[in-house]
Amino acid sequence: MGLPLIMGVFFNEILFGFIYLSFVGFVLKGCDGSVLLNSTANNQAEKDGPPNISLHAFYVIDHAKKALEAVCPGTVSCADIVALAARDAVHLSGGPTWVVPKGRKDGRISRASETRQLAAPTSNISQLQQSFSQRGLSMEDLVALSGGHTLGFAHCSSFQNRIHNFATTQDVDPSMHKSFAASLRSVCPMHNKVRSAGANLDSTPTTFDNRYYKLLLDGKSIFTSDQALLTNPTTNTLVKKFADSREEFEKAFVESMIKMSSITGGQEVRLNCRFVN
Ligand code: HEM
Ligand SMILES: *[C@@H]1O[C@H](CO)[C@@H](O)[C@H](O)[C@H]1NC(C)=O
Ligand SMILES: *[C@@H]1O[C@H](CO)[C@@H](O)[C@H](O)[C@H]1NC(C)=O
Ligand SMILES: *[C@@H]1O[C@H](CO)[C@@H](O)[C@H](O)[C@H]1NC(C)=O
């Protein structure tokens, strides 16, 4: 229940929003659905903090929640809905599927300021490692989960650090493939005025495959945090392994998604995902 409803809405924007949401949600508070909460008069919620998550994804979660409440009141948490939606979004894009451990509870606190704990797209390898290890995730989890960037889209603001004023002597990140960087600069000029402008995260952005790793080895990744995976011997070796084998990537991705979504911390089954009970 709930899942056919989600699957009925087959818009990539929404699907990939779920996957990103499952990551953003976990990093902030453990998978407690706090990322879904609306701001209130005296609290700015995570949702309204720095990383922009597709608003449409929130509406679909609301619909699934409504359908579930009609059938099994107070039973399925918003955090479980997000974890299931992310799993289905991956599978619908041609990726693997897996059994999501259920029974998460939703949290009662959501603060915009805490989104700062998220690894940023400008993070280097030590910052990524720190952010992941604080939550019990390894370097292998980091490399496998970054493969989520086989799907979806990023706005110019998320990667402009690499294509304008990168360093005092270089305008563009020298680790980027030259013509790839030039094409990003043409869609994202220095003073970009087009709010929706940006780039796909890989060249097959609606297919869940291992292309992301191949492009990464070619200097064609979008974020500094992607490129950073090549700067450490352990993560570099894993990037090569996943570029060589889609099977190895999928196996590791599933393991890490399950691990990521097992980190919990909530207290209740929220009745409306946007508000605490
Ligand atoms: C390693 C640290 C990570 C960083 C720094 C990061 C950063 C980002 C940023 C900045 C965006 C684009 C936001 C925008 O410009 O609109 C994005 C998009 C995305 N991320 Fe990540 N991410 C990370 C890990 C993950 C993980 C673990 C997953 C899932 C397994 C994931 C899945 C996605 C997806 C699917 C999108 C596309 C969303 C869409 O098209 O709406 N990311 N990420
Ligand atoms: C929650 O916030 C969104 C925008 O931030 C708004 O459109 C929506 O109406 C709010 N939901 C409720 C139920 O107040
Ligand atoms: C990553 O960035 C931090 C903060 O700027 C810096 O202290 C650290 O040395 C950097 N690490 C690497 C590996 O570049
Ligand atoms: C997020 O939205 C804000 C304002 O709505 C915008 O200034 C910022 O550039 C956006 N960031 C991303 C990563 O899209």
pLDDT tens per residue across span 40-67 = 777 777 666 555 566 677 888 888 899 9
Domains of the chain, first to last: 3-118 (1.10.520.10), 125-258 (1.10.420.10)
Q: What pLDDT shows up at residue 260?
A: 87
Query: What whole-number distance in Å separates Cα of residue 178 and Cα of residue 218?
Result: 10
* Ligand 3 site, residue 126, Cβ cutoff 6 A: yes
Q: What pLDDT shows up at residue 176?
A: 98
Which amino acid belongs to residue 6? I
* Ligand 3 site, residue 161, Cβ cutoff 6 A: no
Contact 210, 243 (CB under 8 A): yes
- Summary mean pLDDT of the chain: 86
Q: What pLDDT shows up at residue 251?
A: 98
Helix (H, G, I), strand (E, B) or coil at 94: coil
Ligand 4 centroid, distance to 158 Cα (angstroms): 9
Helix (H, G, I), strand (E, B) or coil at 155: strand
User: Looking at residues 222-226, what average pLDDT do you find?
Assistant: 98
- Report the sign of the C-alpha dihedral through residues 142, 145, 147, 153, in that order: negative
Q: Whose CA is nearest to atom 13 of ligand 1?
A: 154
Cα 63 to its chain centre, rounded Å, is 21
* Ligand 1 site, residue 155, Cβ cutoff 6 A: yes
Residues 6+ apart with CB under 8 A from 79: 25, 31, 32, 33, 104, 105, 106, 107, 264, 266
Paired tokens of 122: 């400008």
User: Looking at residues 150-175, what average pLDDT do you find?
Assistant: 95
Q: Whose CA is nearest to atom 5 of ligand 2?
A: 38
pLDDT tens digits, 85-107: 899 989 989 999 999 988 888 88
Nearest-Å Rg of the Cα atoms of the chain is 18
User: Looking at residues 231-257, what average pLDDT do you find?
Assistant: 98
Model pTM score? 0.87
pLDDT tens digits, 124-142: 999 999 989 988 899 999 9
268 φ, ψ (degrees, to nearest 5):
-145, 165
